[in-house]
Amino acid sequence: MSSDLLVVENLRKQFGGLKAVGGDDGLSFSVKEGSFVGLIGPNGAGKSTTFNLISGVLEPTAGRVVLAGTDLANVRSSDIASLGLGRTFQTPRAFMSLSVLDNVLVGAKSSGENLRSVLLGGWRSSEPALIEKAKAALTRVGLEDRVTETVSNLSGGELRMLEVARQLIRDPKILLLDEPTAGVDPSLQGKLSKILTDLHKEGRTLIVVEHNLHFLFSIADQIIVLQQGELLSSGTPQEIKTDPKVVAAYLGDEHAA
Amino acid sequence: MNFEQLFLTVLTYGCLFSVMTVCLNLQYARGGMINFGTVAYFAAGAYAYAIFTQEPPKGLDQYLFGFDAPWWIGFIAAGVASLLFAIITGWPTLRLRGEYLALTTFAFAEVLHSFLLNERRIGNGSVGLSNVDRPDFSAIGLSENYGFMLSAVLLLILTSLLCRRILASPYGRAVDAVRDDEVAAEAVGKDVHRLRFEIFVISAVPIGFAGALYAMITTLVSPDLFTAEVTFFVWIALVLGGEHTIKGVILGTLALVTFEEVVRSLHFETVRAAEIAASVEYMMTGLIFVMILRWQPFTRFAKKGATP
């Protein structure tokens, strides 16, 4: 039996007294190593806020997050990323002054980010291998023809794929993807589905926030449903599909029976 | 002023101020940090040089320290002083962004200026330290003017090479990424605070060296020489040259220094003519500024070379 890689315990976040995540007891769930979790819920359910709390972009009001046995309280988001957590954002984020290739290379851990190595020039020998790795990541997400372009030429969907490539080169233990199919055209969606399935097969843990339930239910093995910041339901895609509480949350009470 | 003298002055001061614009380019155009206290690091270097090389106090001297060290120890001390001042000012302020950082760095520079003006035990207060020691270039067969000009050129070349080496590496890529989007950079494990702090501190060192060279050339350090005007001059040069490229900011600085020195070298028969010329200089500066920003000649020229 695989162990819990991520444990979220009694997590609560309030913005100016308004509850964003967690009810009285807070939000609690755990994610087993190697599992593929879908995080769903209506708009405003707190999905992206939960991602921001796990990745350290936001500090929780109460509760804690434990990643691979490490309590993430007071750990900076860059250090959380270094612990093996990768994430993408609801609105794709890119480094606009850099080329597509450099955007991916930023994700790599290079010895050339150490000042001593920069001044002595020792980083140069490892750079070609990183460039090849970045190109492979770009090929994997279907951006192999855009390597030298500036990021401003990319569409919204391509920017999402670029974010995925930037995470792929880092080889994260756990990957949090926030609405990866939003704005991505159907041909790339197929590619994305394959990438996620492959990553899952490779043993990586994935948590995906998604509104495209058809897409998610076909590839996830566990679904967590949030509503107004609280855990509404959790189970396999089949269980969630038939859960009256979930149906009511999405379609209204009259459909629940 | 004859042509040779003009050429030497332009090149000496042009390179000296270019060192500052190149460092500011690293801090602002690449690192995204607005430092409106550039003059403070320049002053720290100049004062450190003067204090280390002057004789111990005697007679009516109000200053407390004078180490009578050779010029090269003073020069190293200048870089260290600027580095330390950057650490002291950068540590508490670099969590600030944009105009907040601009205002804080400006305030730090004003505090240092006020301190040097009022604390006479450091550098004789408003009188300053005069007869600052300078290296002897005759040993290598150079006149003083040429010696300082070549020193300034050399310092600029070394500073540019250092900046280029940093920016053309994965380190520079990470610095660019942090400037573009800190949250996304942190999401791939980049230590934003460390990168910003290191860039801020490293770029202060050549500015300190430039301060030492300035003290050697003028043989005087006094608070009057290190006002916010120096900071604004360097910022104007940076904007003129167009941000991002080392070549561009050097060209911008050289152009600005050339313009000022040429105007200064003109002779006027009457006071009235000199007054009119001073007014015209302001008008011309504004006009040239608008024209350069409109057509960005230095940026275009520099981008042809594609130097980072």
Convert the pLDDT of each residue in B85-138 to its tens digit.
Answer: 999 999 988 888 888 999 999 999 999 999 999 998 888 898 899 888 989 898
Beta strands, E only, chain B: 129-130, 220-221
Q: What is the pLDDT of residue B306?
A: 47
Of A78, A93, A118, the CB nearest to B189: A78
> pLDDT by residue (tens digit) across B27-36?
998 899 999 9
Q: Do B169 and A112 touch (CB under 8 A)?
A: yes
Of A82, A98, A109, the CB nearest to B173: A98
Interface of B with A in 212-241 (CB under 8 A): none
pLDDT in tens, chain A (257 residues): 468 999 999 999 999 888 889 878 889 999 999 999 999 998 889 999 999 999 999 999 999 999 999 999 999 999 999 999 999 999 999 999 999 999 999 999 888 888 888 988 888 888 999 999 999 999 998 899 999 999 999 998 899 999 999 999 999 999 999 999 888 888 888 888 888 999 999 999 999 999 888 889 988 999 999 998 899 999 999 999 999 988 888 767 665 55
Say if CB B190 and CB B177 are below 8 A apart.
Answer: yes
Q: Do B170 and A113 touch (CB under 8 A)?
A: yes
A160 to chain B, any CB pair closer than 8 A? The answer is no
Name the CATH superfamily for A4-94+171-256.
P-loop containing nucleotide triphosphate hydrolases (3.40.50.300)
Distance from CA of B251 to the nearest CA of A (A): 23
A76 to chain B, any CB pair closer than 8 A? The answer is yes
Minimum CA–CA partner of B161 in chain A: A119
Tell whether B167 is covered by a domain.
yes
Which CA distances in Å does B217 have to A157, B144, B211, B253?
58, 9, 10, 19
B306 to chain A, any CB pair closer than 8 A? The answer is no
State CA A109 to chain mean position distance.
19
Of A96, A97, A166, the CB nearest to B188: A166
H-helix or E-strand spanning residue B114:
helix B98-118
Interface of A with B in 96-115 (CB under 8 A): 96-98, 102, 105-115
Tell whether B136 is covered by a domain.
yes
Comparing CA positions, the residue from A251, A247, A241, A246 lying closest to residue A220 is A241
Distance from CA of A87 to the nearest CA of B (A): 7
Q: Which chain B residues are closer than 8 Å to A98 by Cβ?
A: 173, 176-177, 180
What radius of gyration, in Å, describes the C-alpha atoms of chain A?
19
Report d(CA B214, CA B233) in Å as an integer: 15
Tell whether B301 is covered by a domain.
no
Q: What is the pLDDT of residue A191?
A: 83
Q: What is the pLDDT of residue A239?
A: 93
DSSP string, A79-148: HHHHTTEEE--SS----TTSBHHHHHHTTS--GGGSHHHHHHTGGGGGHHHHHHHHHHHHHHTT-GGGTT
pTM of the model: 0.89
Report d(CA B208, CA A192) in Å as an integer: 52
Close Cβ partners of B291 (under 8 Å, ≥ 6 residues apart): none
Q: What is the pLDDT of residue A25?
A: 84
Q: Do A97 and B180 touch (CB under 8 A)?
A: yes
B180 to chain A, any CB pair closer than 8 A? The answer is yes
> φ and ψ at A125, to 5 degrees?
-65, -30
Tell whether B106 is covered by a domain.
yes
Task: Provide the residue type at B217 as one letter.
Answer: I
Q: Do A115 and B177 touch (CB under 8 A)?
A: no
Q: Do B187 and A55 touch (CB under 8 A)?
A: yes
Distance from CA of B157 to the nearest CA of A (A): 16
Tell whether B30 is covered by a domain.
yes
A89 to chain B, any CB pair closer than 8 A? The answer is yes
Minimum CA–CA partner of A80 in chain B: B189
Instruction: Note down the domain range covering B162.
Output: 3-226
Distance from CA of A110 to the nearest CA of B (A): 7
Tell whether B305 is covered by a domain.
no
Complex ipTM, two decimals?
0.90
What radius of gyration, in Å, describes the C-alpha atoms of chain B?
20
Q: What is the pLDDT of residue B299?
A: 67
Q: What is the pLDDT of residue B59?
A: 78
Helix (H, G, I), strand (E, B) or coil at A155: coil
Say if CB B26 and CB B166 are below 8 A apart.
Answer: yes
B187 to chain A, any CB pair closer than 8 A? The answer is yes
Block means of pLDDT (10 residues each) for chain B, 308 residues, are 87 96 93 94 97 87 85 96 96 88 94 94 89 88 92 97 93 95 95 94 97 96 94 89 83 90 82 84 81 74 55
Burial of B161 (0-12, 13-18, 19+ CB in 10 A): exposed
Report d(CA A10, CA A29) in Å as an integer: 9
B83, B161, B173, B197: which to substitute to probe chain A, counting the most A Cβ within 10 Å?
B173
Report d(CA A196, CA A200) in Å as an integer: 6
Tell whether B238 is covered by a domain.
no
Q: Do B181 and A93 touch (CB under 8 A)?
A: yes
Say if CB A118 and CB B165 are below 8 A apart.
Answer: yes
Q: Which chain A residues are closer than 8 Å to B190 by Cβ?
A: 78, 106, 113
Tell whether B282 is covered by a domain.
no
